Amino acid sequence: MRRLLVSLLLVGSVIGTSALPALADTSSSNGPTMAYDLSDNDAPPAVSNGAFNVIVNVLPEGTGGFVRVVALPPANSSVTRLLCKYQAVDTTKSRVECAFKFTTPGTWAIRAQYSTDPSVPVSAIANTNLRVGF
Give me the chain's average pLDDT, please. Answer: 79
Interior/surface letters 72-84, b for 16+ CB within 10 angstroms, e for the rest: bbeeeeeeeebeb
- Quick check: is 111 in a domain? yes
Structural domain containing residue 106: 23-132
Domain count for the chain: 1
Strands 106-115 and 95-101: unpaired
Q: Could you tell me which of 22, 18, 21 has the C-alpha nearest to residue 2? A: 21
Instruction: Classify the phi-psi angles of 65: left when phi > 0, otherwise alpha if psi is within -120 to 50, otherwise beta.
Output: left
Give the pLDDT of residue 110: 95
Tell me: the pLDDT tens digits for 83-94?
999 999 999 999
- Quick check: is 1 in a domain? no
Q: Residue 120 carries which side chain, given as an amino acid letter?
A: V
- Quick check: is 15 in a domain? no
- Quick check: is 4 in a domain? no
Please compute the mean of the pLDDT values over residues 55-83 and round it to a whole number: 94
Assess whether pLDDT exceeds 50 at residue 16: no
- Quick check: is 8 in a domain? no
Does residue 35 sit in helix, strand or coil? strand
Give the pLDDT of residue 37: 82
Please compute the mean of the pLDDT values over residues 72-92 and round it to a whole number: 94
Q: Residue 109 carries which side chain, given as an amino acid letter?
A: A
Length of the chain: 134
- Quick check: is 106 in a domain? yes
Question: Where is pLDDT greater, at 3 or 33?
Answer: 33
Q: Where are the alpha helices (DSSP H) in the chain?
A: 2-15
Q: What is the CATH number of the domain that holds 92?
A: 2.60.40.1930
Please compute the mean of the pLDDT values over residues 61-74 and round it to a whole number: 95
Tell me: the pLDDT tens digits for 29-56?
567 999 998 665 566 666 776 678 899 9
